[in-house]
């Protein structure tokens, strides 16, 4: 299905880059919402985010103030002239949010993992002209993410943008939700007109990661940022570790270097040609390597040896990892490449082994 995407055209804001949305993870009290929003508005932020209904990993956590918080968002609109955005997870949320005049809706990462829920939301949005921001599903499944967009499109929603918030992982070494940048990049390649916002708060899960993630998103050509900001982050009822004060947010945004996305000069074309040549060489070299792997497979077959020789594999990972680090690449990057190469080599050797 071809997606039909139209610009967000936000009232009074249009389609500027970077589009900035900021506000608390959760609306907690009228005082907290108004205080945070006023500070953000004073720094030039024009769209407030605030979760009214909160999906929590475990019961017993703060599950949001619910519809009681909607009039606070209305006050933010009326008194500060900001647009407001909140998460909707059920048709009831959609109805209540639109009734209260919320300007922008977003669908959360957990909801996005469930096609039944997304379809119900889409059905409840039929005939409404509201911009919808679609977070990536918690699992790294690009088709599921696009499928969600198609469901919304099917209901007539065309003012769509996506939010990249990283992907759930058991292995939380640096990030709360590792970014796996290649997924939003591939989404952009397939649907170039779809605006992509980055949510550094949920990717990083930590205040100190907000600034570098914002810069990385801008360098990759993202259209905007949605960042969690709270008047007293340490006291936040949800996601305290990843929220920053409006002052800190302002400092981070001020320091961002925004580069032009569409600017393509002759010298850039020239550099891209060089990259293409190198990529071509990489594939040819890999092909050569695989040919040798198959010969090794043949040898192992004749000598009744097993394919995977753990010691040899560890040696390759260690040696190439160290070499990569010397060249200024991350050891994880080199390890990932060699794991993929090894997997393909093993596959090719299995083929040789099983040949009659």
d(CA 356, CA 219): 52
Q: Which is nearer to ligand PEP, 188 or 202 (CB)?
A: 202
236 binds Mn ion (CB under 5 A): no
Which listed residue (64, 108, 131, 200) binds ligand PEP by CB under 6 A? 108
Q: How far is the CB of 228 from Mn ion (least distance, A)?
A: 6
Q: Closest Cα to residue 35, out of 75, 68, 7?
A: 75
- Single out the residue of 2, 21, 18, 249 nearest to residue 131, CA to CA: 21
* Position among 46, 93, 202, 207 found at the interface with ligand PEP (CB under 6 A): 202
Among 138, 210, 239, 338, binds Mn ion (CB under 5 A): 239
Rg of the chain taking only CA atoms, in angstroms: 24
Is 321 an interacting residue with respect to ligand PEP (CB under 6 A)?
A: no
135 is a site residue for ligand PEP (CB under 6 A): yes
Q: How far is the CB of 136 from Mn ion (least distance, A)?
A: 15
Q: In the bound complex, what is the minimum distance in angstroms from residue 239's beta carbon to ligand PEP?
A: 6
Distance CA 205, CA 186 (A): 24
The interface partner of residue 135, options being ligand PEP, Mn ion, none and the CB cut-off 5 to 8 Å by kind, is: ligand PEP
Residue list 140-199, contact with Mn ion (CB under 5 A) = none
**47, β-bridge pairs:** 83
Shortest separation between residue 22's beta carbon and Mn ion, angstroms: 12
- 19, 20, 25, 27: residue in contact with Mn ion (rule CB under 5 A): 25
Q: Contact at 8 Å (CB) between 237 and 28?
A: yes
In the list Mn ion, ligand PEP, none, the entry touching 176 (Cβ below 5 to 8 angstroms by class) is none
Minimum distance, C-beta of residue 107 to Mn ion, in the bound complex (Å): 14
Nearer to ligand PEP, 135 or 230 (CB): 135
Q: To which residue do tokens 């647009």 refer?
A: 83
């Amino acid at each position: 299905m071809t997606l039909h995407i139209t610009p967000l055209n936000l009232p009074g804001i249009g389609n500027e880059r970077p589009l900035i949305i900021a506000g608390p993870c959760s609306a907690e009290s009228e005082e907290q919402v108004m205080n945070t929003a006023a500070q953000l508005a004073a720094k030039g932020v024009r769209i407030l985010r605030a979760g009214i209904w909160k999906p929590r990993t475990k019961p017993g956590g703060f599950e949001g103030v619910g519809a009681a918080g909607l009039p606070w968002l209305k006050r933010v609109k009326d008194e500060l002239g900001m647009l407001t955005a909140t998460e909707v997870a059920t048709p009831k949320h959609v109805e209540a949010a639109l009734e209260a005049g919320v300007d922008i809706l977003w669908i959360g990462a957990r909801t996005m993992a469930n096609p039944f829920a997304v379809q119900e939301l889409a059905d409840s949005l039929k005939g409404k002209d509201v911009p919808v921001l679609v977070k990536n599903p918690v699992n790294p499944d690009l088709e599921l993410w696009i499928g969600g967009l198609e469901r919304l499109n099917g209901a007539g929603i065309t003012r769509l943008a996506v939010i990249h918030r990283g992907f759930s992982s058991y292995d939380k070494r640096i990030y709360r939700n590792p970014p796996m940048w290649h997924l939003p990049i591939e989404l952009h390649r397939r649907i170039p007109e779809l605006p992509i916002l980055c949510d550094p708060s949920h990717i990083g899960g930590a205040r100190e990661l907000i600034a570098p993630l914002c810069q990385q998103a801008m360098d990759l050509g993202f259209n905007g940022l949605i960042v969690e900001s709270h008047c007293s982050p340490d006291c936040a009822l949800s996601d305290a570790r990843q929220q920053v004060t409006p002052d800190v947010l302002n400092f981070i945004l001020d320091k961002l270097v925004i580069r032009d996305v569409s600017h393509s000069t002759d010298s850039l074309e020239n550099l891209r040609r060089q990259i293409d040549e190198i990529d071509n060489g990489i594939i040819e070299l890999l092909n050569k390597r695989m040919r040798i792997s198959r010969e090794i497979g043949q040898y192992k077959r004749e000598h009744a040896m097993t394919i995977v020789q753990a010691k040899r594999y560890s040696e390759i990972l260690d040696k190439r990892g160290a070499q990569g680090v010397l060249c200024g690449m991350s050891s994880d990057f080199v390890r990932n490449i060699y794991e993929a190469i090894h997997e393909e080599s093993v596959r090719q050797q299995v083929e040789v082994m099983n040949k009659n």
